[in-house]
Amino acid sequence: MKINIPIKPKPTCLLAVVLLTMAAALATQAAALNGRVIPRPVTPGDVTTYALPASTENSGGILTVGVGTPVYLEADVNIAFPLSQITNVAFALAKTPIGSAAVIAASPLPANMGIYEPSDKLVYQVAGRALLRPDMTGQYTVTATIGTLTNGTTVVSNTITAGTYEGVGVCIDCHDGSPNIPVKYPYWTNTAHATIFTKGINGQLYSSTGQLEVESVSCLKCHTVGYDTNAASFADNGFFAMAHADGWTFPTVVTNSNWASMQANYPNEANLANIQCENCHGPGSEHLAAAGKTNIPSKITVSYTSGDCNQCHDAPTHHFKGTEWYASSHAVTTTIPSGAGRGYCVQCHTTAGFITRINYTGANSTNFAPTNTIDTTFSAIGCQTCHEPHGQTIPTNNPHLIRALAAVAMGDGTLITNAGEAELCLQCHHSRDGSATNNVVQYALGKPTYPGGSSFGPHDGVQGDMIEAVNAITYGQTFPSSAHRSTVTNVCVGCHMQTVAAGDPAFLHAGGHTFEMKYSVVTNGVTNVVDKTDVCAQCHGQIASFNFPVEDYDGDGVIEGVQTEVQNLLNKLSTLLPNTNGVVDGSVKTTTTTLSPKTTWTQAQLKAAYNWQFVNNDGSLGVHNAPFATGILKASIADLTGVSAAGGLPDAWEIQYFGSITNASGAPNASPAGDGIPNWLKYSLGLNPLVAGIQVSNGVVYANGTGYLGGSTNTIQIYTAADVTFNTVAGTTYQLQEVSSLGGGWQNVGSPILATNSASMSYLTPTRGNLQQYFRVWHNP
């Protein structure tokens, strides 16, 4: 039985002739479809979002399903392929169990329901959908024939296994320590999944906030195995079918004896209660039948797709961790770092790669596994990346089943022991190109900077290095660091997973498993990005933006927002670095594309470029660790210019005359000799700042120079004067006034000036011997 989904009328005769003449080319182009057929997840969140009927059956989108439960088939093609070129998509059953009367039916899912996995949306688009409801145990091979106007016909297929539920009592037989079989059961018993139904009907289930949660019939869809009211008519043996057959009903009184009573009187139902193996892996009857046999599939699903978890955890407003994740950047990781030859990259960029690495190296190491041991197929960074659902190898003090929870060795060898639950985050959110110094040196020599390749800089996710103030180019200096690393509980988790209440405009868009610190608000058609600063208030008070004033880090005399200050330093440093052609052109480089280091750069330039990328790739513009970020940027600027302080004088000159770069007497505007001539002027003229000039009555200061300014004498004449410029309006009279200290009486300078036109006027004051002088201009209307 098959179902055809027409997309467009058949091509005209003329087009058919053209297609025949291009047959050879079309055969090679067919791969451009990149077609596939998969079971699409359908979650409680989907039911709400797309206004589906309340009776819609949820699906994890896995390949092992219960008899009578729906498989929402979906044929996908390359997102770049024009859907207008698809003529039809025909689903068919190429293989069914003997005696099966199952058919392919029209899909109940609406046309506006897109690809489920956020990362898949970057690659695929829906070409057609259908529905399969298996009617007996066994395997069903589904094909989708995709016809096109330009690329011929492509046939894609997949195999669905239908089974019945065995319950955890059967799983124990093998997964409780049998030789050469993964041990899962003992660890699972310590998880919240294992007792959620038990505690619920006993009145012992409490939320994370300490509130008592009472189990109800509506909870059974997720808290039991195979609870499907529609599938019961297919002789399904899930919890609902068993309860219906045996006469079990939900207890009317919640008491701590309900579970014991159920075990004694309804053992079949108790065997399928709580969240067990088959909730996630699918019914196990066919897997059990295949046990011990060779050369046949295991007939059970091990899935890294988010739908497997989100069939329950995408159900706002109560179970919404999956809904939050759906809005995260983790959910839209691209396929680029996966595939053949990417064994090193996928150990952070995909679920399968990360799990392999942690299992190989151990949770307390950031070492990477040999690349030939890694599964390089693509899977987004999802639930199973961070959580070990069975609880295997997880400490008992880890209620969230975090996959890797131990001290973390950073790229430069620094061992981080204070990060709490963020130790998982730091496994990947640090430079994966080794130590900063090694990276710069090896890159310049054209040698590998990481196993299997050479790449300049700290890679992308250096947030861990930044907040812990490690693995940057420090030029032998020690920089201050933010208190975030020691005061924020669980570091990254404490801020990025802040709790956001239902009803808050940021709910499901920031905090929690979105990991986002910003969210968008659309007002009158205009989208505004809002910083979610609530978590900051406990230390910083009520702030509206992360870009709040802290300190004049860039030394321009104005205290701006911390992110503005850091961006100014990034911009200044970038002007001192070569462009893509290797020329220092003084332009601002704003991306790693416009600032792309080459092996021909000097060591000083490479060190500075490393720090630029370090701060830029952190992405917070100083929020994570402003003192450290600004410290390494200013040190990089100083190394390239010889000037440590923004707006200051060369370090060598200050050390020569004042012993250090921090001596206040060496400030640019200071006059340590007492002659009123500032250091910056004496530096520019080659004068000794500690030797006073000779002041005479006419206001001219003679000083003995140590440099020669184009003449044969080392005597320099300095006129202390001020050029005051102001705008004028024709017909208005202006008066310049001066005072040597604020608070004194203002004195007129010269005679009143009548403006004859509207222009900018410049007035050079008489020479003065005062160290400082203030001027103002007033006018008569």
Three-state secondary structure string covering 115-166: CCCCCHHHCEEEEEEEEECCCCCEEEEEEEEEEECCCCEEEEEEEEEEECCC
Average pLDDT over residues 226-247: 88
Whether the bond between 334 and the residue before it is cis, its omega within 30 degrees of 0, is no
Whether 276 shows a pLDDT value over 60: the answer reads yes
Question: Of the candidates 607, 622, 647, which is a domain's last residue?
Answer: 647
Question: Which region holds residue 46: left if phi is over 0, alpha if psi is between -120 and 50, else beta?
Answer: alpha
Is residue 152's pLDDT more than 70?
Answer: yes
**H or E element that contains 358:** helix 351-361
pLDDT at residue 223, as a whole number? 96
- The predicted pLDDT at position 695 comes to 65
Does residue 588 share a domain with residue 521? yes
pLDDT at residue 763, as a whole number? 78
Task: Find the largest Cα–Cα distance for the chain.
Answer: 118
Residue type for position 675 = D
Q: What is the mean pLDDT of residues 92-110?
A: 97
pLDDT of residue 547: 97
The 10s digit of each residue's pLDDT in 574-632 is 999 999 888 999 999 988 778 889 999 999 999 999 999 999 999 999 999 999 999 99
Residues 666 and 614 in one domain: no
- The reply to whether 504 and 607 lie within a common domain is yes
End position of a domain, from candidates 647, 678, 694:
647
Judge if 83 and 102 occupy the same domain: yes
Residues 131 and 206 both lie in one domain: no
Q: Give the pairing of strands 138-148 and 64-66.
A: unpaired
**Residue 81 shares a structural domain with residue 188:** no
CB atoms within 10 A of CB 250: 13
Work out how many domains the chain is built from and give that number.
5
Distance CA 308, CA 126 (A): 20
The confidence score (pLDDT) of residue 578 equals 93
- Whether the predicted pLDDT of 63 surpasses 70: yes
What's the confidence (pLDDT) of residue 17?
32
Same domain, yes or no, for 623 and 692? no
Question: Which residue in the block uniquely carries the two structure tokens 């070129």?
Answer: 85
Mean pLDDT of the chain: 87
CA dist., res. 508 & res. 518, Å (int): 11
User: Between β-strands 153-163 and 64-66, what pairing exists: parallel, antiparallel or unpaired?
Assistant: parallel
pLDDT at 293: 80
In this model, does residue 114 exceed pLDDT 80? yes
Are 355 and 373 spatial neighbours (Cβ–Cβ below 8 Å)?
no
Confidence of residue 487 (pLDDT cuts 50, 70, 90): very high
The β-bridge relationship of strands 36-39 and 124-132 is unpaired
Residue 205 lies in a domain: yes
Under DSSP, is residue 114 helix (H, G, I), strand (E, B) or coil?
Answer: coil
Output the pLDDT for position 246: 94
**559, 550 contact by CB (below 8 A):** yes
The better pLDDT of the pair 15, 674 is held by 674
Q: Please report whether residue 228 resides in a domain.
A: yes
**480 — pLDDT class (breaks 50, 70, 90):** very high
Percentage of the chain surpassing pLDDT 70? 90
Task: Please tell me the chain's helix, strand, coil percentages from 3-state DSSP, rounded to the nearest 5.
Answer: 30, 20, 50
All residues at 6 or more sequence positions from 350 whose CB lies less than 8 Å from its CB, including other chains: 333, 337, 338, 376, 377, 378, 379, 380, 381
Kindly state whether residue 423 falls inside one of the protein's structural domains.
no
How far, in Å, CA of 561 to CA of 554, rounded? 11
User: For residues 316 and 320, what is the distance between their CA atoms, to the nearest angstrom?
Assistant: 5
Looking at the DSSP bridge assignments, the partners of residue 523 are: 526
Whether 716 contacts 687, CB under 8 Å? yes
The angle, 0 to 180 degrees and rounded to 10, between the axes of the packed helices 626-641 and 603-618 is 160
Percent of the chain predicted with pLDDT > 90: 61
Q: What pLDDT does 719 receive? A: 63
* Reported confidence tier of residue 731, pLDDT bands at 50, 70, 90: confident
| Among candidate residues 119, 137, 163, the one where a domain is terminated | 163
Going by C-alpha positions, the residue among 465, 406, 468 that lies closest to residue 434 is 465
Cβ of 443: how many Cβ atoms within 10 Å? 23
- Which value, in Å, is the radius of gyration of the alpha carbons in the chain? 36
Q: How many CB atoms lie within 10 A of CB 186?
A: 14
Task: Report if residue 473 sits inside a domain.
Answer: yes
- Domain identity same for 660 and 540: no
Q: Is residue 380 part of a domain?
A: no
To which residue do tokens 């659309």 refer? Answer: 522
The answer to whether the CB of 438 falls within 8 A of the CB of 455 is: no
> Do 627 and 770 share a structural domain?
no
Distance CA 494, CA 420 (A): 10
Distance CA 436, CA 523 (A): 45
Given a cut of 90, is residue 125 above it in pLDDT?
yes
Helix axes 562-575, 626-641, angle to 10 degrees: 20
- The model's confidence at residue 644, banded by pLDDT at 50, 70 and 90, is confident
CA atoms within a 13 Å half-sphere pointing along the CA-CB vector of 723: 4
> How far is the CA of 552 from the CAs of 27, 113, 214, 648, 762, in angstroms?
64, 51, 55, 14, 31
Q: CA nearest 433: which of 442, 424, 422, 423? A: 442
pLDDT band for position 107 (50/70/90)? very high
Of residues 708 and 243, more confidently modeled: 243
Query: Residue 31 pLDDT more than 90?
Result: no
Domain that holds residue 750: 723-780
451 falls in which pLDDT band (50, 70, 90)? Answer: confident
Q: Is residue 689 part of a domain?
A: yes
Nearest-10 crossing angle of helices 603-618, 436-444: 130
Contacts of 110 by beta carbon, 8 Å cutoff, 6+ apart:
50, 52
Task: Name the residue with tokens 């055969």.
Answer: 27
CA distance 642 to 639: 5
Q: Does the structure show a pLDDT above 50 at 15?
A: no
Q: Which of 366, 482, 496 is nearest to 424 (CA)?
A: 366
Better pLDDT: 75 or 581: 75
Comparing 98-102, 385-389, 453-457, 638-642, which segment has the lowest mean pLDDT?
Answer: 453-457
Whether residue 9 is predicted with pLDDT greater than 80 in this model: the reply is: no
Q: Is the same domain home to 231 and 121? A: no
Can you tell me the mean pLDDT for 676-704? 71
User: Rounded distance, CA 39 to CA 131, Å?
Assistant: 9
Average pLDDT of the segment spanning 396-412? 86
pLDDT of residue 564: 97
* DSSP state letter for 441: H
Query: Do the domain assignments include residue 354?
Result: no
Residue with tokens 């006993």, as numbered in its chain: 202
Instruction: Provide the residue type at 408 as one letter.
Output: V
Report the half-sphere exposure of 568 (CA within 13 A, side-chain side).
Answer: 18
Name the band, by pLDDT with cuts 50, 70 and 90, for residue 768: low
In this prediction, residues 703-730 reach a mean pLDDT of 63
Residue 23 pLDDT level (bands cut at 50, 70, 90): very low
As a whole number of angstroms, the distance between CA 86 and CA 395 comes to 53
Give me the mean pLDDT over the 682-690 stretch.
83
SS3 236: coil
Judge contact between 416 and 410, C-beta under 8 A.
yes
pLDDT in tens, 277-324: 999 999 999 999 988 787 777 899 999 999 999 999 999 888 999 999
Q: What pLDDT, on the 0 to 100 scale, is given for residue 764? A: 74
pLDDT at 701: 56
pLDDT at position 16, please?
Answer: 33
Residue 14 has pLDDT above 70, yes or no: no
Question: Distance between CA atoms of 652 and 659, rounded to whole angstroms?
Answer: 9
**167: phi then psi, degrees, rounded to nearest 5:** 85, 160
Q: What is the pLDDT of residue 10?
A: 36
At 714 the pLDDT is: 53
Look up residue 207 and give its two tokens.
């939320």
pLDDT number for residue 568: 95
Cβ-contact 196, 205 below 8 angstroms: yes
Please give the helix or strand (H or E) that residue 196 lies within, else none: helix 196-202
Q: Is residue 321 part of a domain?
A: no
**How much is the average pLDDT of 422-442?**
92
pLDDT of residue 156: 97
- Helix ranges restricted to H, 450-597: 463-468, 484-487, 492-496, 537-540, 562-575
pLDDT bucket at 402, cuts 50 / 70 / 90: very high
Say yes or no: 611 and 686 in one domain.
no
- Identify whether residues 159 and 209 lie together within a single domain: no
Q: Is cis: bond before 317, omega within 30 of 0?
A: yes
